[in-house]
Amino acid sequence: MSYDKPHRKKLSDSVHELRRWFGRQPSSVRWACGIGAALLYCVVFYQLFVAPSGFRWRAIYGDPDYPDGYSIHGIDISRYQGNINWNRLRNAMIETAPIRFVIIKSTEGDSHLDRKFRENFINARESGFIRGAYHFWSNNSSARRQAYFFLAMVDLQPGDLPPILDVEYKPKDITIEEFQQNVLTWLHIVEDRYHVKPILYTYYKFKDLYLSDSRFDDYPYWIAHYYVGKMEYTGPWKFWQHTDAGRLPGIEGYVDLDIYNGNLYELHQMLIPEPMRILVPDSTNHDSLLLELDEVRD
């Protein structure tokens, strides 16, 4: 926007008039105005720069009590974390930060397998962590192809977290209803395989804009919301990714930090269960036979 000469002259006259008025005031008034302006500047500067970075620094320096009020902590990783020293990370769970679960990127789209997935997936379980695997949604391939690719590449076991879908982008050329139906297609296919509700990851504003339909209400939410003291999303949620700038022993560089919204017992309750075991009486000799009914996997 540009101003013509009359507008510039009017603005200049207003500034000069304000200066003359200020110069006519007693020194006490000028001091009070100066102090007030300085305080206003400090408040604005703190809110815009200091407060957000304060939470960031708490994460970077590994504050185990951040965010306040939660006791079950975890991380999510991918190839970007490089070679992880799992012995150091396992010890960190006991000594410096109560890391209980590790969520690992597995697949993206209908053809990309994270090159560190298999290594990380095995090491997470061998190191005693609750583990999970997430698929990164792509708008360049169909929901069905992405779901079946995830199922082909990832073999979740009893004791693992339910499958996870990471959704962060909506195509511009389809409606919200079409987008929601695509996401539901992936969720339904994977749910039919594992017989548990997949976890849905997204950031909180995206959830409100595109995934607020009641058809998603039964799915556990993992919400990304960084550098704040408390979750601003008001709906039900299970996991909170609260920073992308965490520091932990065993991992070079930054790592995403997460919390679980509940206690350790509740976390174990949402894991993939063991196959059901049912006692069936033998009709001939009345002895009890233990039959294990494995989940059917197409």
Catalytic residues: 76, 168
CA distance 73 to 262: 10
Q: Is 77 helix (H, G, I), strand (E, B) or coil?
A: strand
DSSP E strand stretches across the chain: 72-77, 99-108, 112-113, 130-136, 164-166, 199-203, 221-224, 239-246, 255-260, 277-281, 288-292
For 280, the 3-state DSSP assignment is strand
- Amino acid identity of residue 71, one-letter, is S
- For the chain, the residue count is 298
220 preceded by cis ω (within 30°)? Answer: no
CA–CA distances in Å: residue 274 to residues 136, 192, 194, 268: 27, 16, 11, 12
Work out whether strand 288-292 and strand 277-281 pair parallel, antiparallel, or are unpaired: antiparallel
Residue appearing with tokens 């975890």: 74
